[in-house]
Copies of this chain bind each other. A is one copy, B any other.
Amino acid sequence: MSETVTLSLEDCDALVFETLLQNGCDQANARAVTDTIVAAERDRCASHGVFRLPGYVASLRSGKVKGDARPRISQTAPSVLRVDGDGGFAPLALAVGREPLIERARDQGIAALSLVDIYHFAALWVEVEAVAREGLAAFAWTAAAPMVAPAGGVKPLFGTNPMSFGWPRADGPPMVFDQASAAMARGDIMIHARNGTPLPEGVGVDPGGAPSNDPDAVLAGAQLPFGGYKGSAIAMMVELLAGALTGGGLSKEAGDRDINDGGPPSGGELMIAIDPNKFGDPDGWRARGESLFAEMLKQEGVRLPGDGRLKNRLETPTDGIEIPVALFDQIRALREIAG
């Protein structure tokens, strides 16, 4: 194991927030991005936590992403909202859209939120959980830049294209899963590359199209979808929903215009929120969900999606989080250079 620095969540929050402020984020954007990064660290999702901060900073410094973006919301149909992210990071755009989406879903039964002109560099479960916590079922999909080959091919076309789904629980936080349609999340491949550990089979191909266990070769070549043609169909669906439907653009377009500064590509995101009380069985839906989860847990070896995160978040407020020393030093340098 590499050496680590232990930080309290409060110290992590201050470190991230100050680093963003010193590198061109205004207060509102820095707060929204910080909340997203610290939520990942709190749940020990290292691949979407502080590990991403150098990328956020790179895109502020390059001028690709606006640190003072002012996302604007509009309604395009009775059940459809749209946030123009004004070229900023996704978290503030999501914060602007959240309450209106919840209100529309409660009013209409189902509602959708398009987000465009955003730069998404985080996990989707953060925004899905925030909606599902209000008693709604929720979906989110986002595209990225070309990294994943369609089933049968070997050239990157799709983003890693995660989908997330949340369902309110009777007690405690909602069940939320968040999974890349790639066989492995790119953040996890990047962690393998950083740590010098080989990839499992089936994660990707090298630039020549040959299967490879080398994380650097796969990052330069193409990732593969999970589950063969079925995962590929889901990746394609995410392109259509997050890129075409919203107008936020396909992963290929984002890749073509990206300046490869190490930060996130531009793109779109689609969320759908559903009020289960408006579907004709307001007394039954919650009990059925709980019954399903209980049946799953009766089987030895079965876990509920996201339960590792929920367990971790009970521990990190007291235990703190661990950041690799090299990453910690890198972030301190970002502050010193900026300062």
Interface residues of A, Cβ cutoff 8 Å to B: 74, 76-80, 82, 107-112, 114, 116, 137, 149-155, 157, 165, 167, 177, 179, 226-231, 233, 236-237, 239-241, 243-247, 249-250, 252, 272, 274-276, 278-281, 284-286, 288-289, 291-292, 295-296, 299-303, 305
**Complex: A296 Cα to B231 Cα, angstroms:** 15
- A289 partner residues in chain B, CB cutoff 8 A: 240, 244
Say yes or no: A296 contacts B108, CB within 8 Å: no
The 10 closest A-B pairs by CB, nearest first: A227-B227, A247-B281, A77-B109, A153-B299, A80-B109, A244-B288, A152-B301, A77-B278, A79-B108, A153-B302
Q: How far is the CB of A109 from chain B (nearest CB, A)?
A: 3
Assuming A82-B280, A284-B247, is B76 touching A296 (CB within 8 A)? no
**Complex: A240 Cα to B284 Cα, angstroms:** 11
- A296 partner residues in chain B, CB cutoff 8 A: 150, 153, 157, 236
Q: How far is the CB of A202 from chain B (nearest CB, A)?
A: 10
8 Å CB contact of A280 from B110, B246, B252, B286: B246
Q: How far is the CB of A57 from chain B (nearest CB, A)?
A: 31
Q: How far is the CB of A290 from chain B (nearest CB, A)?
A: 9
This chain's copy number in the assembly? 2
13 contacting pairs across A/B (C-beta < 8 A) = A79-B110, A80-B279, A80-B280, A116-B280, A149-B299, A153-B301, A227-B230, A229-B305, A233-B305, A246-B279, A246-B281, A247-B279, A250-B288
**Complex: A42 Cα to B248 Cα, angstroms:** 37
Q: How far is the CB of A27 from chain B (nearest CB, A)?
A: 28
**Complex: A41 Cα to B300 Cα, angstroms:** 41
Assuming A152-B299, A152-B301, A179-B233, is B250 touching A292 (CB within 8 A)? yes
Closest chain B residue to A286, Cβ basis: B244
**Complex: A39 Cα to B112 Cα, angstroms:** 32
- A284 partner residues in chain B, CB cutoff 8 A: 244, 247
8 Å CB contact of A299 from B150, B231, B233: B150
- A240 partner residues in chain B, CB cutoff 8 A: 137, 167, 288-289, 292
Assuming A302-B152, A305-B236, is B245 touching A109 (CB within 8 A)? no
- A279 partner residues in chain B, CB cutoff 8 A: 76-77, 80, 82, 112, 114, 245-247
- A302 partner residues in chain B, CB cutoff 8 A: 150-153
Say yes or no: B108 contacts A295, CB within 8 Å: no
8 Å CB contact of A78 from B109, B149, B231, B247: B109
Say yes or no: A79 contacts B111, CB within 8 Å: yes
Q: How far is the CB of A277 from chain B (nearest CB, A)?
A: 9
Q: How far is the CB of A251 from chain B (nearest CB, A)?
A: 9
Having A157-B295, A177-B233, A249-B288, one finds 4 other A-B pairs with CB under 8 Å, namely A76-B280, A80-B280, A153-B301, A229-B305
